[in-house]
Amino acid sequence: MKFVQQKTANLKMQRVFNLSLILFLIILSFIYFDFIRSKIRDVKRKADIRQLQTALSIYQSNFNEFPNVNDFDFQDWDTTFEPLNQEFSFINILEKENIIDQPVKDPINSARFYYRYKKFPANSFGCEQPFYILQIMNFENEIKDHGWGKCPERNFINEAPNGFTIQIFE
């Protein structure tokens, strides 16, 4: 009788252990899946910024300048996150000119994760030529390459410390 009770107790312990192991593996897979999804969104962000950079180059080639925007939110930056449901000015310009076929925005597109663009006139922050800055404001994972974007009086990379910056001169 004691042997049967011992065997029953061992089976119960084994079931509890197996159930705990399965639960642990399910939780671990959800965490890993979320990590993979964040990596995929970061890859999309890099692809988006390259697409926008190419579109801005095509615009410059067609019109001999970069798009001007009259979007006065976020300190005169045109952003893909528009809390007041405003339009994405520079993206709409590129779309209207048939340079891109649909709006490009961050996969999350929130107050923390968005893209921004601004054209600066000559002699801004010590840079002699007109230029634009295009930025991914934040990645979900830490990155090593933060792009480039600096004038003698302002380093744009510091404004997106876990983002990516592109500066192109006219």
Whether residue 71 is predicted with pLDDT greater than 80 in this model: the reply is no
* Residue 168 binned pLDDT confidence (cut-offs 50, 70, 90): very high
The larger pLDDT score, comparing residue 43 to residue 35, is at 43
Q: Which two tokens stand for residue 110?
A: 């929130």
Residue pair 131/168 in contact (Cβ under 8 Å)? The answer is yes
What is the residue-wise DSSP string for 118-152?
EEE-TTBTTBSS-EEEEEE---SS--S--B--EET
Q: Give the tens place of pLDDT for each residue, 134-163.
A: 999 999 999 999 999 999 999 999 999 999
Give domain status of residue 68, yes or no: yes
Q: What is the CA radius of gyration of the chain?
A: 25
Give domain status of residue 28, yes or no: no
Give domain status of residue 24, yes or no: no
Give domain status of residue 12, yes or no: no
Please, which residues have CB within 8 angstroms of residue 138's CB and are 6 or more apart in sequence?
A: 112, 113, 114, 160, 162, 163
One-letter amino acid at 164 equals F
Confirm whether pTM is higher than 0.85: no
- Where in the sequence is the domain holding 110, given as residue range(s)? 39-169
Q: What is the pLDDT of residue 73?
A: 65
- Averaged confidence pLDDT in the chain: 88
Q: Give the tens place of pLDDT for each residue, 83-130.
A: 776 666 788 899 999 999 988 999 999 999 999 999 999 999 999 999
Report the number of distinct structural domains present in the chain: 1
Give domain status of residue 2, yes or no: no
Q: Which two tokens stand for residue 14?
A: 């084994």
Give domain status of residue 9, yes or no: no
Give domain status of residue 125, yes or no: yes
Return the percentage of the chain with pLDDT > 70, whole number. Answer: 90
Distance CA 162, CA 165 (A): 10
Cross-strand partners of 37? none
Give domain status of residue 49, yes or no: yes
Sign of the Cα torsion 30, 35, 36, 37 reads positive
Q: Which two tokens stand for residue 87?
A: 């339009």
Among 53, 68, 38, CA closest to 162: 38
